[in-house]
Amino acid sequence: MRKTGLCLGVAAFAGVFQGAACHQDDPPVPGLEDVVYEGGTNDEALAAFGSLPPKSPSKPFGFTLPTAGARLPPTPIPTFAWGDATPILDAGTGLFAPPRSPPDVPIHWLGGRAAFAHGAAFNGRAYLLRFAVPASDKLVRVFTARTTYTPGADAWKKLVDAKATITITIQSALFDNNAIAQQGGPFDGTSVAFTIGP
């Protein structure tokens, strides 16, 4: 995708996604600076994610941690986890198959970085997480290839400081060179609500 096309594509859904930037030498698109990228995901894949309407999966998927209605302590920072057993079309073989696992890269190495996420094209399954409260449906957003997420200190502070019930939603899609594969989604997962407090 050419630079101009990507920038326009990302800007088109500024109200839905945050954190994607066009290239390392470009300033981030206003309002899109703070998505956390993990597991090799990038801004072009994020743009593709927003270009198609979400579908219902053949089997529901969603969070395994936390459970609905859980009250999480402020410390230590918890790890959020989810499952996705929905068989979808494998981009390489054209056959329906279980989802591919993301590479086993330590979370501390991935870190969770904001914007400027260019590099190799993304292939495989990715998830978009949204943490929302009544005052903001864009409190924290994460675009990841992993099936767990441990918030960094800044993201966790946003969640703790919200002092409200937090609802997490999840979507998934299968990518082939930054594009969503045929029959690859995006798919809506289930949501879960929790609170943070002693």
Q: List, for residues 11-40, the tens digit of each pLDDT value.
A: 334 444 433 334 444 444 344 567 888 998
pLDDT surpasses 60 at 160: yes
Whether cis (ω within 30° of 0) applies to the bond prior to 186 is yes
* Residue 163 in tokens: 């002092």
Element at 177 (helix H, strand E): none
**Nearest-angstrom CA–CA distance, 171 and 185:** 9
Q: List, for residues 120-137, the tens digit of each pLDDT value.
A: 888 999 999 999 999 898
Q: Which residues of 177-188 are buried (b: 16+ CB within 10 A; e: fewer)?
A: ebbbbeebbbbb
pLDDT surpasses 60 at 196: yes
Q: Tell me, yes or no, if the pTM score tops 0.75.
A: no
- Cβ(154)–Cβ(131) below 8 Å: no
- Cβ(146)–Cβ(107) below 8 Å: yes
Query: Amino acid letter at 128?
Result: L
Rounded to the nearest integer, the mean pLDDT of the chain is 74
**Nearest-angstrom CA–CA distance, 38 and 25:** 21
- Cβ(17)–Cβ(45) below 8 Å: no
pLDDT at site 164:
94
